[in-house]
Amino acid sequence: MNITEDIIIEERTSLTAEMLNKINAYWRAANYLSVGQLYLRDNPLLKDPLKLTHVKNMLLGHWGTTPGQNFIYTHLNNIIKKYDLNMLYISGPGHGGPAVVAGTYLEGTYSEVYPEITQDTEGMKKLFTQFSYPGGISSHASPQTPGSIHEGGELGYSLSHAFGAALDNPDLIIACVVGDGEAETGPLATAWHSNKFLNPLGDGAVLPILHLNGYKISNPTILARISGEELEQLFRGYGYVPIFVEGSEPELMHQAMAAALEQAMHLLKQIKYNAYEHPNSVHSKWPMIILRSPKGWTGPQEVGGHKIEGTFRSHQIPLSVSAADPESHLQLLEKWMKSYKPEELFDENGRLMPELADLAPKGDSRMGSNPHTNGGLLLKPLRMPGFMSYSVPVPEPGVKGEGDVHVAGRFLRDVIKQNPANFRIFGPDETVSNRLEAVFETTNRQWNSEIKDDDEYLAPMGRVMEMLSEHQCEGWLEGYLLTGRHGVFNCYEAFIHIVDSMFNQHAKWLKTTREIPWRTKIASLNILLTSTVWRQDHNGFTHQDPGFIDHVVNKKSEIVRVYLPPDANCLLSVMDHCLRSYHYVNVVIAGKHPSPQWLDMDEAVDHCTRGISIWDWASNDQDCDPDVVMTCSGDVPTLETLAAVSILKEHLPQIKVRVVNVVDLLKLERQSEHPHGLNDHDFNELFTTDKPVIFAFHGYPWLIHRLTYNRTNNPNIHVRGYKEEGTITTSFDMTVLNEMDRFHLVIDVIDRLPQTGSKGTYLKQKLQDKLVEHRQYINAHGQDMPEITNWKWAD
């Protein structure tokens, strides 16, 4: 809806008798198609008496939410066409897949993307047969469904996706159906507050439609059982103007829903106008619709002595029809489907009657073909500043750095400058804490609530979105990406686990859409993790968990990437690569505290391009085979490995050491398992086939064993990493607690190289004594011993 257009909307407009009949017929058609998807594989128009051979052998799917969603979709079509709106539809109770499929089939979109599902009797038969059928489509509003940006297989994220889609889309309205069961989830309950962030001038509008049908799978829902007064107070307190549509009698409900949408459009138009006239005003009260209708509306009233419509028993398949069931069930199914009067809805060839087909919007105005729902169609490449110009000088390895993420912040600042309308940074109140404060030199945090004089970086418009809810940050970003934009989610490493399940669903979405020809690629989901396990000096054990990496690598190899840059220049190279990429989940783990810098910019680019390489300047095996391969992945593991190598060079110079650093973690997998993986020859060239490999890793050590289990030299790979030992302590002591410090790494080498002889035995004892001394020093002083604090890489 464009604020410059003169749209006159009457708040309460009754449907004419003719329009009422047409809308009701269209709704009946959608319900008929939905029941057909649940039950039939033949005889789609019931021209012959219904037989068991016409019914699927396995009945799978969900009826309960479907008729209500068909009702909503039908009325949204009417309001779109009436005012030429730009609107997309999100099915929060995603089990209502039959409704979204039916809606897009009736409007013609489905047949356009799937030409074999024609708009005739044969196409209808195929439409019915494929639903929840081997080789067909799932019962959710899945990626296969045109018009969907939201996988309905898991509840809770619809409203977050809706608000993310609205950002930077000022003319777009997102109609988001929220199920009352879904509304009980943590992410959804928090998502109502997203209205405090939406800017009516620069962003679109979200119209939440809370669908109260009373029940979950087998229990009543909370919001359906509280009083109407409490329900209204709840949503007014959230900052909405609730518009109620309640009942079960179709004629009255159609009139009420049409009037509710008219009122909602009037309020949205007023919000847009007020924002244009008063751009600095406090956030508006956004409209929402609360639709209370029976669960399983228009379905069987009673089966086997149990009430069905309006109860939890209508949630899935409300009527079992098989050879084991009474014959009356088959007759009841036929009666149910014929109650929609298909002969009035479809012609002899199975096509929707022309006067009904005319109710749907045309072209891209159809919700199933809105370009925003296939975001790659709208995706524009980022304008990227040259990342090499942000490099830090590294005249020699080991120079002190200012914090790797701090350096990357300046790069992201200028990415924002060059992309003021299609790039955002999301994070849970941690942008400054995570040392990305440079971005506030060019933008603010978007915030449309009260702003006080001593607040920092708050404004009605901004490119940084912060809310202390990882769920919302992830959901906003997903909605933003799915509708054709770019972004980064920055988070404390330990708390990214909060969105494990959301990451799962997005990764599955990316995997599935790669296999759908009409789906276009979208920008990658970029997750920057910092405040890592090894540098939680004042937070302690609660903030120490690097396990998100393990979770990520479970997903399909064509989707996930994991990067552990060892210094700032490598981080710049990695971030540039990730922001330019499409259709991946890129997880980047980097430190924010001052730390040594190892590679100049040219070396960093070369190293990151390879993803894994030998650091010749740190090795001494250039003219022979190594005795040991010292490997590291992550900034702190790199530091500890190089410190260990320095000790070995000083005290056991006869040992030939090769240093290998891993930036792209999935280089460790075989090429047959991951497209970035090394082939066996190249892996063996790096790690040898028979020499000890001492691997210092940022995360849990068993992940490295898992990635390398099928390599020739796997039995000789010994991994040090996080072992779930932590407390409030120094960064070096954290490595000692988990036995990944330089002393343990040297001891590992000595234990595996008998040729070190008495010198090795002596050094090992000295290092063990040093570990005891360290513990005593920590207990007495609460800080590291001076010689460790002042340690510097020695060439």
Specify whether the CB–CB gap between 575 and 588 falls below 8 A.
Answer: yes
Residue 7's pLDDT band, with cuts at 50, 70 and 90, is: very low
Give yes or no for a contact between 34 and 67, defined as CB atoms under 8 angstroms apart: yes
Please determine, for residue 10, whether its predicted confidence score (pLDDT) is greater than 60: no
Angle among Cα 136, 557, 674 to the nearest 5 degrees reads 135
Q: Where are the beta strands (DSSP E) in 11-106?
A: 87-91
pLDDT band at 135 (very low <50, low <70, confident <90, very high): confident
Classify 528 as helix, strand or coil.
strand
Block residue for tokens 């972004």: 487
532-559 as b/e: b if 16+ CB within 10 A: bbbbbeeeeeebbbbbbbebbbebebeb
**What's residue 713's pLDDT?**
95
pLDDT above 70: residue 508: yes
DSSP of 432-447: TTTT-GGGGGT--EE-
* pLDDT score, position 787: 80
Length of the chain: 795
Residues 6+ apart with CB under 8 A from 66: 31, 34, 96, 98, 99
The pLDDT tens digits for 455-477 are 999 999 999 999 999 999 999 99
Residue 345, classed as helix, strand or coil, is helix
Q: What is the rounded CA–CA span in Å between residue 608 and residue 787?
A: 32
For the cut 50, the answer to whether the pLDDT of residue 3 exceeds it is: no
pTM confidence score: 0.95
Beta strand extents in 509-599 (DSSP E only): 525-530, 560-563, 585-589, 596-597
pLDDT confidence bin for 66, thresholds 50/70/90: very high
Q: For residue 53, name the pLDDT band (cuts at 50, 70, 90).
A: very high
pLDDT over 90 for what percent of the chain? 87
Indicate the range of 148-152, 306-310, 415-419, 537-541 predicted with least confidence. Answer: 537-541
Distance CA 765, CA 769 (A): 6
Confidence band for 13, pLDDT divided at 50, 70 and 90 = low
Q: With a cut of 90, say whether residue 538 has pLDDT above it.
A: no
Question: Which of 213, 123, 128 lies closest to 177 in space, CA to CA?
Answer: 213
The answer to whether residue 297 scores a pLDDT higher than 70 is: yes
Q: What is the mean pLDDT of residues 646-670?
A: 96
Rounded to an integer, what distance in angstroms lies between the CA atom of residue 671 and that of residue 680? 8
Name every residue whose Cβ is closer than 8 Å to that of residue 378 and which is 6 or more positions away in sequence: 371, 372, 483, 484
pLDDT (0 to 100) of residue 276: 85
| Interatomic CA distance for residues 739 and 732, integer angstroms | 10
| Residue 96 token pair | 């209502």
Q: Is the pLDDT of residue 645 over 50?
A: yes
Structure confidence at residue 795 (pLDDT): 39
**Rg, the chain, Cα only:** 30
b/e code 283-310 from CB counts within 10 Å (16+ = b): bbebbbbbbbbbbbbbbbeebeeeebbb
Place 543 in a pLDDT band, splitting at 50, 70 and 90: confident
Query: Would you state the structure tokens that stand for residue 344, as one six-digit string?
Result: 């009035």
Which parts of 283-396 fold into alpha helices (H)? 327-338, 342-345, 354-357
Packing angle, helices 158-166 and 470-482, rounded to 10: 60
| pLDDT at res. 152 | 77
Per-residue pLDDT for 55 more than 80? yes
The H or E element that residue 281 is part of is: none
Report whether pLDDT(145) > 90. yes
Is 695's pLDDT higher than 60? Answer: yes
Token reading at 393:
């000088």
* DSSP designation for 771: H
Distance between CA 240 and CA 621 in Å, rounded?
69
Name the one residue in this structure whose structure tokens are 């200012």. Answer: 402
83, 1 Cβ separation under 8 angstroms: yes
CA–CA distances in Å: residue 329 to residues 35, 51, 61: 14, 11, 18
pLDDT tens digits, 80-117: 999 999 999 999 997 889 999 999 999 999 999 999 99
- For the stretch 319-345, pLDDT in tens is 999 999 999 999 999 999 999 999 999
Residue 697 DSSP code? E
Q: Which residues contact 237 (CB under 8 A, 6 or more apart)?
A: none
Quick check: 283 pLDDT over 80?
no
Question: 570-595, pLDDT tens digit by residue?
Answer: 999 999 999 999 999 999 999 999 99
According to DSSP, the β-strands at 205-212 and 173-179 are parallel
Q: Tokens in use for 679?
A: 């082939």
The mean pLDDT value of the chain amounts to 94
3-state secondary structure of 674: coil
The answer to whether 33 and 124 are in contact (CB under 8 A) is yes
Residue 8 has pLDDT above 60, yes or no: no
Q: How confident is the model at residue 791 (pLDDT cuts 50, 70, 90)?
A: low
The pLDDT tens digits of the residues spanning 228-272 come to 999 999 999 999 999 999 999 999 999 999 999 999 999 999 999
Alpha carbon distance 652, 519 (integer Å): 59
Question: What share of the chain in percent tops pLDDT 70?
Answer: 97
Window from 148-157, 188-197, 311-320 with minimum mean pLDDT: 148-157
What tokens does 124 get?
A: 């209808």
Q: Which pLDDT does position 531 carry in this prediction?
A: 87
Which of residues 164 and 8 earns the better pLDDT score?
164
CA angle 317, 322, 324 (to 5 degrees): 120
| Phi-psi group of 484: left, alpha or beta (phi > 0 → left; psi -120 to 50 → alpha; rest → beta) | left
